Amino acid sequence: MLEELSQRKVLAIIRADGAEAALRCIRTLVDAGITALEVSLTTPDALDAITRARPQLPPSVLLGAGTVLTAGQADAASAAGAGFVVTPGLTQGARRAAAGGTPLLCGALTPTEVISALDLGASAVKVFPAGLHGPRYLRELRAPLPEAPLVAVGGIDAATAPAYLAAGAVAVGVGSPLLGGAGSSGSRQAQDDLAARAATLLEAVGSRRAAADHHRGAEGR
């Protein structure tokens, strides 16, 4: 998971009004070239969206469950087909995922929390909320922890993402600045706008060619 995230650079965080809206966003983002996606469990019927989306997507697409708080949620996410689990902190869900061998992106902010997440067995550490302190904080974290795989999440958009990557993040997680109104609107325009924001984000982080290559591959399937 860590290797894939570091190559793809962007993790899309999907929060939507329900399973259908989440599915629309997943399809739009994958078609646009973003192939690492997290469906937050704050989305009603999020696990249903993951279950339905997984067989529709190429195996190369990383699809996980986010905002996993409890052990039961971690188990349900795995049963739904989530390929990884994302937590806002050192939750019971994080512990269950790690114990069960599910790739874990564990939330942390302080050096102690980052070390605890890695000791738990996290594949990478979600520095959240990264926007509270900015890229400089990420750089300071990496000074004593140069090998820590950090994913910056919270308050990041296409304009600020490159600075976090330059500060040493292996990837950035982007939610509402990317999704906009697409998670609550069923209009074609909302999805077109989402695709445009995805393209802008990928170009900002240097993944434009990867997006184009993925799109060509999808057309050939």
Q: Which of 4, 9, 38, 140 is catalytic?
A: 38
Q: How far is CA 135 from CA 59, 98, 153, 186, in A?
A: 33, 28, 11, 35
Q: Which of 113, 126, 140, 203 is catalytic?
A: 126
Task: Output DSSP code: residue 44.
Answer: T
Q: How far is CA 208 from CA 26, 106, 149, in A?
A: 18, 28, 23
Known catalytic residue: 126?
Answer: yes
Known catalytic residue: 9?
Answer: no
- Token readout for 190 is 């909302």
Identify the burial level of 157 via C-beta atoms within 10 angstroms of its C-beta, where 0-12 means exposed, 13-18 middle and 19 or more buried.
middle
The residues annotated as belonging to the active site are: 38, 126
